[in-house]
Structure 1
């Protein structure tokens, strides 16, 4: 990946390029930001620029053998470590190397990845992913070797917060005193979950949030999405490009209609309709199920903004804006907080493979209480 392919982040790009040009490359850096942001793409572009055999003023050439290998994720001096879980293929002590073929196919689609998508890709949705102490031993062994083709040997460690304590402690020494010309590029979404001893050994690079305008531009220019649809998706994705891709796969208007129907049934306390909707909800894919709850979270936010009198900050239009106006009539600060809590819990339970029927009906019962506080 080249820097020019990354959305925004201009200041960070310039800092990284200048660090290489001035030969001030930190041996351990941590790119961090929210899921669906630019952290992984920056790490990949940085690694490619370091390996590039014909560096340009502000980017890798993209044409030399090293760049081509980096783009295919097969450069011998570029390795990856990431959370894994047991599968039918690997039933004991899985490590990243066991899934390298799947990883290249997964990351090759786009760098705005999520853990849930990765686990689904390797058929391990119901498993708990982690980076084990066995993986740390592989890291130490692998990085003890000299670079094969490039000046530097680079390890990209995705989601280091999934290292258990033993695994994290095992790499402390090599992280602080690596072999010459060895670079660690950590890519994190929740750095506050890391051990303080890890954080103290890396140079943090915080990525900037991706704006709605940047998401819309990416969708229209790279995926040829129509302006109106790109605007809607960008608003709902809220800076998460991975979420934007999923919204494009699922029909956005269908989500809106389903959420409106759901809220009306909850407001009317129509249990017959809710049971019918529960059966329909169970037939949706997991992404569509989570998408409905995420859509609800966004609608609640916009309704609360509208109710507080900040109409110009509402990021919706058309029938969605009309619904927000009406929905805000039953929302107060207190019950909006309850809605947020219940919808977030619903996503949490779905991600841990709870029964969709139970999750939807239980959430519906709680929402009935939240939006009908005077009629409990």
Structure 2
């Protein structure tokens, strides 16, 4: 991963590069930032820059043996640890059991991976992942060895707030006084969920939201066929993952429309067999697409309210959707819109927290059976 491949974050990149040039590399650093800010990508680019044998002024060379191994995520001195959970294949798992899936997930997400995507990649379904005691032992074992090729051995712990609290004390001494030529990079999205004993032993590197200009430029170059990139950038509010979801919504507009229309018709008519079929199918599409469908639905309900108050000109939809809304909007009114909006937002919240998606969509569907009949 090269620094130039990361969206924006120019000040952070400059500080990281400068720390290497001045030989001021703190042995335990905490990269703290919101979802979609690029903190994992920055950590990998930083590690690659440290290990590069022909560093350039503002980036790794990208072509030395070390850089090539980093780009393939196979460098022997780079170690990843991340939230996992027991599976049928690995009843007592360690992170390295899932290394092929980790590499695939990183590349597929352009190094902007989030927890839901990771859980979907390794098939955790309704389980919550943790960085377990076995992995803590693995970390201690890895850092006790000398580097194989590079000057430093680098341990990246992704979503450190998922570190199993009872096992955390095993690592504290290593964070405070690591073996020689060892660098820990901890990555987090929520400072308040990190143990204070870890916070006090790490140097904080704040990763802010991505600025609008570099995010808009990146999206415009990568998704030239998508209109309203400026609006998507504004709504995303510095979160590349949010921008990606909005673009996927646009690309999946036709599918989401048909799914939404059939779902609402089945709810209004209380067709339990069809609702069951919808719930089964939706439970298999992955959390990100589930959230996208729910977000899309909220947008449609907003359009219904606009039409209810005679503001049809503000509804920006394809003609087929407008035809449907002209008949459907009367079922979304001041008496039920707040409850509908609350239930859909609550469902997004539950999906993000890994609640069983079948239960979430079944509960929501049954509530919609009643809410759509309120006049």
Q: Same fold (TM over 0.5)?
A: yes
Counterpart in the other structure of 1:347: 351
C-alpha displacement at 1:152, in angstroms? 1.4
Unaligned runs of 5+ in 1: 306-313
Q: Pairwise CA RMSD of aligned residues?
A: 4.0
1:23 Cα offset (Å): 1.3
CA 1:247–1:35 in structure 2 vs 1: closer, same or farther (change >3 Å)? same
Q: Deviations over 1:156-175 (max 9, x none)?
A: 11111111112211101110
Q: How does 1:139-154 map to 2 (within 5 A)?
A: 139-154=139-154
Q: Which runs of 5+ in 2 are unaligned?
A: 307-313
**Cα separation, partners in 2 of 1:364 and 1:121, compared to 1, 3 Å:** closer
Indicate if the aligned counterparts of 2:8 and 2:210 stay in contact, CA closer than 8 A: yes
Q: Equivalent residue for 1:286?
A: 285
After TM superposition, the score normalised by the length of structure 1 is 0.79
Q: Deviations over 1:212-236 (max 9, x none)?
A: 66555434424x5403176676577
Q: Is the 8 A contact 1:32 1:204 kept in 2?
A: yes
Match of 2:270 in 1: 271
Residue matched to 1:17: 17
Evaluate the alpha carbon distance shift between residue 341 and residue 14 of structure 1 in structure 2; reply closer, same or farther with a 3 A threshold.
Answer: same
Quick one: distance in 2 between partners of 1:372 and 1:185? Answer: 53
Number of residues of Structure 1 aligned to a counterpart in Structure 2 = 361
What residue number does 1:34 align with?
34
Residue of structure 1 equivalent to 2:197: 197
CA distance in structure 2 between the partners assigned to 1:185 and 1:122 by the alignment: 23
Residues 105-116 of structure 1 aligned to structure 2 (within 5 Å): 105-109=104-108, 110-116=110-116
Report 1 or 2 for greater relative contact order, CA contacts < 8 Å, sequence distance ≥ 6. 2
Identify the residue that residue 76 of structure 1 maps to in structure 2. 76
Under a length normalisation based on structure 2, what TM-score does the superposition of the two structures give? 0.79
Deviates more, 1:275-284 or 1:203-212: 275-284
Q: 1:303 Cα deviation (Å)? A: 9.7
Q: Which residue of 2 aligns with 1:129?
A: 129
- The yes-or-no answer on 1:164 pairing with 2:164 is yes
The residue matched to 1:66 in structure 2 has which SS? helix
CA deviation after TM superposition for structure 1 residue 181, in Å: 1.8
User: Alignment partner of 1:172: what SS?
Assistant: helix
Asked if the contact 2:266/2:274 (under 8 Å) is kept, the reply is no
**Which residue is 1:254 aligned to?**
255
Structure 2 counterpart of 1:308: none
Q: CA 1:16/1:347 → structure 2, altered by over 3 Å: closer, same or farther?
A: same
The 3 A distance-change label for structure 1 pair 304 and 336 is farther
Comparing 159-168 and 114-123, the one that deviates more: 114-123
Q: Are the aligned partners of 1:133 and 1:164 in contact in 2 as well (CA < 8 Å)?
A: yes
Name whichever of 225-234 and 153-162 sits farther off.
Answer: 225-234
Tell me, yes or no, if the aligned pair for 1:297 and 1:343 is still in contact at 8 Å.
no
Cα pair distance change 1:243/1:261, threshold 3 Å: farther
Q: Secondary structure at the match of 2:98?
A: helix
